[in-house]
Amino acid sequence: MAVYLFTFHAYGSWMPDRDEGYVRSGGKFRDTDHLAYQNYLQLAKENDSWFGCDIQLLLLEVCRKSSDLMRLNLYGFSCDVSHVHVLVGWEDEREWEVLRNRIKYSMTSRLNNKYGKRKWFSKGASRKRVKDQEHFDYLCGAYLPKHDGVVWIRKNDCEE
């Protein structure tokens, strides 16, 4: 069984001016860079996206419904104003890229329908394969719940 933590960032939310640094396409972490930030602003196609409480609740609803439709086990969800985490698993041989893209498409489509068409998410998304039960329990018990926004954990699968 494959279990992954997918992370989707709001469009424009992890810019190079962050004190903590930023991640450039390709996954390399970089230090704060104010010049790169100015360049990103000039290239931006739209204003930043931010996920308020109503949007976070809608994203959870979308993830729950789309997981059922895609025959995925949704184990956990957390969101704050800048990003969404989705912890899912499946028992067949489907590729993670296809499923991750379908989840993102479902969230984008629903947001567009409710709030109008725009760029909601940054390009791509992150994925981490869950290594073992200890890693899974950490994600459910510590990592996902530490986020400031909407958090949902399927309790019968995760230790408290």
Residue 33 lies in a domain: no
Give me the phi and psi of 46, to 5 degrees please: -150, 175
Number of domains in the chain: 1
Give me the phi and psi of 141, to 5 degrees please: -90, -25
Residue 140 lies in a domain: yes
Beta strand 73-79 with 126-129 is unpaired
Domain range enclosing 91? 2-12+48-153
CATH of the domain at 70: 3.30.70.1290
Give me the chain's average pLDDT, please.
87
Give me the phi and psi of 40, to 5 degrees please: -60, -40
Give me the sign of the Cα torsion angle 124, 152, 73, 108.
negative
Tokens of 123: 């390009």
Who wins on pLDDT, 26 or 93?
Answer: 93
Q: How large is the average pLDDT for residues 57-84?
A: 97
Residue 71 lies in a domain: yes
Residue 24 lies in a domain: no
C-alpha distances out from residue 158 to 28, 74, 144, 147, Å:
31, 11, 11, 17
Tokens of 63: 């993830």
Per-residue pLDDT tens for 91-149?
Answer: 999 999 999 999 999 999 999 999 999 999 988 889 999 999 999 999 999 999 999 99
Radius of gyration of the chain (CA): 16
